[in-house]
Chains A and B, each alone.
Chain A
Amino acid sequence: MLDLGTVTTLIAFLVGIVLGFPIGWLFIGSTALGLFVMGSPTVFMANAFFHSLDSSTIMAIAFFVFSGALISEAGLADRIVNFSYSLVGRLRGGLTGVGIVATLFLSALTGSSVPCIAALIPLLVPRLEKFGYRRVYTTALLCSSSYLGYLIPPSVPAMIYCLLAGQSVAALFLATVFPGILLAIGYGMLNYFMVGRYTFESTEKPLLPTTFEESVKDILHTGKIAIPALGCPVLILVGIYGGIFTPNEAGGIAAVYCLLIGWFVYRELTNAKLKKALSSTIGTFGMTTLLLAGGTILTRYLTRQGVAQEVANFMLNMFENKYLILLMLNFFLLILGMFLDGIPILILVVPLALPLMQELGINLVHLGAIMVVNVGIGVMTPPFAMSIFVGSRLAEVPAAELTKTMLPFLFLVSIPVLLLTTYIPALSCWLPEILLGSSIVGPW
């Protein structure tokens, strides 16, 4: 079925992953090895590398990474946390619920998951520990919520999916909104029941308004301060859906907006902080672009070897049923998500799965929503879990304990939301259809 070259490539790739080699170069090296074994020319690798990066979507992705890096450096995250605090702090489990609400807000500022964790852990974890909430629980909540950054627009994985599948970015941005909100509500409910197990007696009590009037006053006050920070998502959304600029241009606008707020409104963006944000942005998108280019090379190779067609035929012969195939796709993506980052997964899987999905008549915006939710879950599934890596380091809690605490969030909320997204197309297709028209979304 597969030729020697393809098999060599796949084995080399798996071995390389297990040995912990950098995945971006591993894509390239394992492809080269397969070509070498077969004595095939390798020159297409350089062309695929170059042309996969020659795209304004990649530029927009870097801009969103930069604005994500700015949200903590420019003081936007603080204001949003304070606002969230006054919104839900008084409810039962509310202090930890602040984490979910703040993540929801920050998600509308960044297209990724890591900036949410990086901004919120230093702000919330020590503060809540003083009030008797265990570090590991607050961190687990934040890490589990972090992929809301993928689901609430803007979203880097959504842009990559659209780049690969030729779908409307504006539509897919909207398609994951309801799954995102569902996820936040589910986490909120789970938190309500779980939080009691992770508290201890503490002498310090939070200063919270006691009456309804005080509470409203507090919300208005913190809300006013948070307006410039909250203005960014509003600007992005109005800009994109009001026809003022394209989703790609929105990245540039968001970055400029965050810079201006940091400099002139909150006045917290010093040169040192800007440098820090720039350095992390350049490092991150250097890594991301390498993953993109390397992943394109490997998929190009697999497509040329006819692997996509083989996989499609195999799946069709094996299952026949559309719902079973979708279930298999989700299962396969979840397994991949345990070992790979979301971006390379999309680059590998979308071109290979697209022909099969089209044959099954699955709406490609709906498929995009499934994939984005799925690779989002990947940030919390061990052993390779971005949110656990970053979260355990920033909060100084052991990764194993953090992982264990995150499991209820994974199994009781995330997976059910994924299944709902998979089997109820309306969850993802209805909103873009209402706002953008049925022709952009297509039949579902």
Chain B
Amino acid sequence: MKKFFSHVEKIEFILGSIGLLTAIVLTFCQVVNRYWLHFEIMWIADFALYIFIFTIYIAIPYGAALKTHIAVDILPDHFCGDDRAKRAIFDIVKSSVTILMVLSISSPVMRVAKRAYRYPEYATLVRWFNMSWLIYAMAVMIVLVILHYGWHVACDVYELKQLRWISVNEGEAK
């Protein structure tokens, strides 16, 4: 399991990097082309944006994997202090509620994905590009985010068990 998630994270990182760098290079090319080369590549700005939107839907789960989310930790810090068990319990609650919050948008996302399937939309300049793919990417994002938070919960539960085992054994030693 651990291996699986580190692989997922790695793949997200690689795809995210490729997407970001490609979007940067395309934007750069668009400017350079305007002044030097004069190829007719009107589609380049749109295409860069599509690539970038995929990248966003990779970056959001990657952020979830790294726990880079923004939150106000004052109260949790106050209650948990340095107590690792309390902290693990709080993190379990937090991740579980987050999963619920992600789930709250999952059914609208699935509905929109269904609509995107029923009415495919093609980019105006990149005409082979089915824009519904971007919406499917949003659906994949939801799944990945839930997986990551589920994994955070599993890790915290494991830690909690370990802590309990330690405290029980220490108790026996006394």
Q: Does A256 contact B (CB under 8 A)?
A: yes
Q: Is the CB of A29 within 8 A of B104?
A: yes
Which residues of A are found within 8 Å of B94, using beta-carbon distances?
19-22
Which residues of B are found within 8 Å of A251, using beta-carbon distances?
27
Which residues of B are found within 8 Å of A170, using beta-carbon distances?
none
Which residues of B are found within 8 Å of A339, using beta-carbon distances?
72
Residue from the list A23, A46, A291 in contact with B105, Cβ < 8 A? A46
Q: Is the CB of B71 within 8 A of A22?
A: yes
Distance between Cα atoms of A19 and B21 in the complex (Å)? 37
Q: A25-B102, A50-B134 are in contact. List 4 more A-B contacts (CB 8 A).
A: A21-B94, A46-B111, A62-B52, A282-B59
Q: Is the CB of A282 within 8 A of B27?
A: no
Q: Is the CB of B109 within 8 A of A49?
A: yes
Q: Does B28 contact A (CB under 8 A)?
A: yes
Q: Is the CB of B60 within 8 A of A341?
A: no
Distance between Cα atoms of A62 and B52 in the complex (Å)? 9
Q: Is the CB of A18 within 8 A of B75?
A: yes
Which residues of A are found within 8 Å of B69, using beta-carbon distances?
22-25, 287, 290
Q: Is the CB of B59 within 8 A of A286?
A: yes
Which residues of A are found within 8 Å of B4, using beta-carbon distances?
none
Q: Is the CB of A49 within 8 A of B104?
A: no
Q: Is the CB of A20 within 8 A of B76?
A: yes
8 A Cβ contacts from B30-60 to A: 30-31, 34-35, 45, 48-49, 52-53, 55-56, 58-60
Q: Among A37-45, A148-156, A189-197, A353-361, which stretch is in contact with chain B?
A: A37-45
Residue of B nearest to A339 (CB): B72
Determine chain A's interface SS by DSSP, over half rule.
helix
Which B residues contact A (CB, under 8 angstroms)?
A: 12-13, 16-17, 20-21, 23-28, 30-31, 34-35, 45, 48-49, 52-53, 55-56, 58-64, 66, 68-76, 94, 97-98, 100-102, 104-105, 107-109, 111-112, 134-135, 138
Which residues of A are found within 8 Å of B98, using beta-carbon distances?
21-22, 25, 29
Q: Is the CB of A20 within 8 A of B75?
A: yes
Q: Is the CB of B70 within 8 A of A23?
A: yes
Which residues of A are found within 8 Å of B59, using beta-carbon distances?
282-283, 285-286, 289
- Give me the 9 closest cross-chain CB pairs, A-B, nearest first: A29-B101, A286-B63, A252-B27, A286-B59, A32-B104, A22-B69, A46-B108, A282-B16, A46-B112
8 A Cβ contacts from A256-282 to B: 256, 278-279, 281-282
Contact A53-B56, Cβ < 8 Å, known A25-B102, A286-B68: yes
Which residues of A are found within 8 Å of B71, using beta-carbon distances?
17, 20-23
Distance between Cα atoms of A291 and B28 in the complex (Å)? 27
8 A Cβ contacts from A1-56 to B: 16-26, 28-29, 32-33, 36, 42-47, 49-50, 53-56
Residue from the list A46, A54, A256, A291 in contact with B53, Cβ < 8 A? A54
Distance between Cα atoms of A58 and B20 in the complex (Å)? 12
